[in-house]
Amino acid sequence: MPTVFEAMEKRSHEEVVFCNDENSGLKAIIAIHDTTIGPALGGCRMYPYSTEGDALRDVLRLARGMTYKAAIANLNLGGGKAVIIGNSKTDKSELLFRSFGRFVEGLSGRYITAEDVGTSVKDMEWVRMETRYVTGISRALGGSGDPSPVTAYGVYVGMKAAVKKALGRESLAGLTVAVQGLGHVGYNLCKNLAKEGARLIVTDVDREALKKVAEEFKAEVVEPDAIYDVDMDIYAPCALGATINDDTLNRLKCSIIAGAANNQLETESVHGPRLAEKGILYAPDYAINGGGLINVANEIEGYNRERAFKQTEGIYDTLMSIFNLAEDENVATYIAANRVAEQRMEALARLKNIYLPRQNPMQKRDHK
Ligand code: NAD
């Protein structure tokens, strides 16, 4: 197992903070990957990691992903993440999150936290009692509230960019979209799609969610595993990661993949190029699902829902530049997305006269 410094050097992380508070029982790690463009923003995950090594690996990987996500979303933010080692069902307390908040405060704004898997808006409200460097607070308290409608809107405009590029069409009317997962994002995406006249084929493991969408948007319902085999123009994964894999690649008959789920490609370096070979235009997940991040980032300057939606419309142009670069350089779209993000970070580093002491800190991004 590499030492902490070796792990940090591998992907050019700036700072790692180990937080230990016996009083509250807090054991957490905060990782700041890169603050070239701005303070590092990223959620706080709570998970019962079996080893400290697992927790460190996860937080370093996630923090780096946030650097790219913020850069591609045209935000003035860097990438960071935090993990609290513990069981989110049994180990939560006011003291724990206030203690975490004090560690965040100690970083004086270099890291801004938010909710993530295993943490909630309520937990972040405890964090806010100790620091103002927290986002994802409820709208009642002046925060940005549920980001999902904004994320869904971003996926919708990103899908339109993909349709323009792959099919030369301005509208989604008449196209068939297969939506997997009808939760917070999937439901709102269906709403946008139905409004524009797209035909919907949907699935979910939750029968209630299915019934609601089927009735409200006249969607056709299929069993969860059947979604990969339906006749569709667009596959929109909005549930799980890694649904683009060896099995589904042989089944998907679509022109476009555009959805909200994180880490859609099981193995980027394998399945990214294979999609391109099959002539399927893939909208890179972290570029198309950036609306949620844009939404919380807005909280930093004083939240304005209208501005968050407006900024999210930029996902159309971003995706178009990714698709064009992928075509010009004959590379998979996920590689083009990384290059677009790196170009922005490098240009802004030059503008700010920041000397990047690393060879090329942004290269070799992966989700592993
Ligand atoms: P959610 O938990 O509200 O919804 C997920 C839905 O997927 C649920 O209805 C669940 O029943 C369904 N599901 C689970 N397993 C399934 C399966 N095998 N087949 C079909 N459906 C299944 O989550 P969400 O907030 O809507 O997020 C959806 C995805 O988008 C996640 O991958 C999330 O990480 C990603 N994402 C969300 C946001 C956001 O703003 N909420 C932002 C960026 C990325």
Choice among 27, 69, 81, 160 that is catalytic = 81
Do residues 180 and 236 make contact, with C-beta atoms less than 8 angstroms apart?
yes
Question: Band of the pLDDT at 366, cuts 50, 70, 90?
Answer: very low
Question: Band of the pLDDT at 5, cuts 50, 70, 90?
Answer: very high
Rounded to the nearest angstrom, the distance between the alpha carbon of 205 and the centre of ligand 1 is 11
Question: Which residue has better confidence, 117 or 232?
Answer: 232
pLDDT at 140 over 50: yes
Q: Which two tokens stand for residue 180?
A: 């997997």
Is the beta carbon of 88 within 6 A of some atom in ligand 1? no
- Condensed to tens digits (0 to 9), the pLDDT of residues 51-79 reads 999 999 999 999 999 999 999 999 999 99
Question: Band of the pLDDT at 358, cuts 50, 70, 90?
Answer: low
Nearest atom in ligand 1 to 150's CA: 40
The predicted pLDDT at position 139 comes to: 84
Q: Does 364 participate in catalysis according to the annotation?
A: no
CA atoms within 13 A on the CB side of 317: 7
Instruction: Identify which of 204, 305, 315 to mutate to test ligand 1's pocket (most ligand atoms within 8 A of the CB).
Output: 204
Domains and CATH numbers, the chain: 4-65+79-134 (3.40.50.10860), 148-344 (3.40.50.720)
pLDDT at 368 over 70: no
| CA distances from residue 224 to 5, 180, 203, 212, 230 in whole angstroms, order as listed | 44, 8, 5, 16, 11
pLDDT at 359 over 70: no
pLDDT at 301 over 90: no
Q: Whose CA is nearest to atom 43 of ligand 1?
A: 289
Instruction: Identify which of 45, 203, 205 to mutate to test ligand 1's pocket (most ligand atoms within 8 A of the CB).
Output: 205
Distance CA(179)–CA(42), nearest Å, equals: 27
Do residues 258 and 159 make contact, with C-beta atoms less than 8 angstroms apart?
yes
Is the beta carbon of 252 within 6 A of some atom in ligand 1? no
Is the beta carbon of 262 within 6 A of some atom in ligand 1? yes
| CA distances from residue 30 to 15, 43, 61, 129, 137 in whole angstroms, order as listed | 8, 10, 12, 19, 20
The predicted pLDDT at position 365 comes to: 46
CA-nearest of 109, 100, 77, 115 to 29 is 100
Distance CA(36)–CA(40), nearest Å, equals: 9
Q: Which two tokens stand for residue 313?
A: 């419309």
Q: Would you tell me how many other CB atoms lie within 10 Å of the CB of residue 9?
A: 12
Radius of gyration of the CA atoms of the chain, in A: 20
Length of the chain: 368
